[in-house]
Amino acid sequence: MPCFQLRGALLSGASILVATSSFAQQTPSDEVIDLGTIRIFGDKFADSLDQTTASVAVLPEQELNTPNTQTLADTFRRIANVQDGARTESGFIIRGINSEGLTPGGNGAPLASIYIDGVQQTAEAARRGFRGLFDVEQVEVYRGPQSTLSGRNALAGAIYLQTKDPDFVNSGAAQLTYGENNHRQVGLAYGGPINDSFAFRLAGEWSKQDSDLNFPTYERFPRLSDLDTDTYYTVRGKVLWQPADNAQTRALLSFSHSFDSPTTNDIAGPNQIPGVSFDDDRGDVFQPPFVWSQDVRETRVNNAGLEITHDITSALRLTALTTVSESTTDRNSINLGVPAETFSVTGAFDQRIVSQEVRLNFDSGPLRWVAGVYGAKEMNQGRYDGDIFFGFPLDIETTNTADITNLAVFGEFAYEFARNWRLIAGGRVDYTDQDIDASLFSIVGAQNTVLDTTNSETEFLPKIGLEYDITADQRIALVYQQGYRPGGAGLQPVGPPFAAGSFAYEFDPESTDTIELSYRGDFIQGRLNVGANLFYTKYKNQQVEVETVVGNPFSNIIVNAGDSESYGAEIDVTYQATDLLTIFGAIGLLHTEFKDFTFGAQDLSGQQFRSAPERTISVGASWGDQIGWFANGLISYVGPQDSGNILNPAIDLGGYTTVDASGGYAWNTVRLTVYANNLFDKRYFTGEEGPGRIATLGDRREIGVRLDKTF
The pLDDT value recorded for residue 151 is 80
Query: What span, in angstroms and rounded, lies between the C-alpha atoms of 497 and 363?
Result: 59
3-state helix, strand and coil shares in percent for the chain, rounded to the nearest 5: 5, 60, 35
pTM for this prediction = 0.92
Phi first, then psi: what are they for 74, rounded to 5°? -65, -30
Cα distance from N-terminal residue to C-terminal residue, the chain: 28
The pLDDT value recorded for residue 88 is 76
Exposed / middle / buried, residue 310 (Cβ in 10 Å: 0-12, 13-18, 19+): middle
Which residues does the chain have with pLDDT short of 70? 1-37, 102-108, 388-394, 441-448, 493-502, 549-554
Q: What angle do CA 533, 538, 544 make, to 5 degrees?
A: 115
| Adjacent-strand bridge partners of 207 | 185, 232
The DSSP element (H or E) to which 149 belongs, if any, is: helix 147-150
Is the CB of residue 134 less than 8 Å from the CB of residue 233? no
For residues 669-693, b (16+ Cβ closer than 10 Å) or e, as one string? eebebebbbbbeeeebbbbbbbebb
Query: What span, in angstroms and rounded, lies between the C-alpha atoms of 315 and 142?
Result: 26
The pLDDT value recorded for residue 160 is 94
- Who's near 263: CB < 8 A, 6+ residues apart? 209, 211, 213, 227, 228, 229, 230
Nearest Cα to Cα of residue 561 among 589, 538, 578, 579 = 538
Would you say the C-alpha torsion 58, 63, 66, 68 has a positive or negative sign? negative
The pLDDT value recorded for residue 554 is 63
The pLDDT value recorded for residue 8 is 35
Neighbours of 259 (CB within 10 A): 16
| Adjacent-strand bridge partners of 707 | 176, 672
Nearest Cα to Cα of residue 72 among 61, 60, 80, 64 = 64
- Who's near 192: CB < 8 A, 6+ residues apart? 166, 167, 168, 169, 170, 171, 199, 200
Nearest Cα to Cα of residue 410 among 375, 451, 366 = 375
Give SS3 for 444.
helix
| Adjacent-strand bridge partners of 460 | 429
Query: What span, in angstroms and rounded, lies between the C-alpha atoms of 88 and 261?
Result: 10
The pLDDT value recorded for residue 545 is 81
| Cis amide leading into 497 (omega within 30) | no
Is the CB of residue 109 less than 8 Å from the CB of residue 485? yes
Any long-range contacts for 393-396 (C-beta under 8 Å, 24+ apart)?
Answer: 393/443, 393/444, 394/442, 394/443, 394/444, 394/498, 394/499, 395/442, 395/443, 395/444, 396/345, 396/440, 396/441, 396/442, 396/497, 396/498
Give SS3 for 72.
helix
Nearest Cα to Cα of residue 594 among 567, 562, 548 = 562
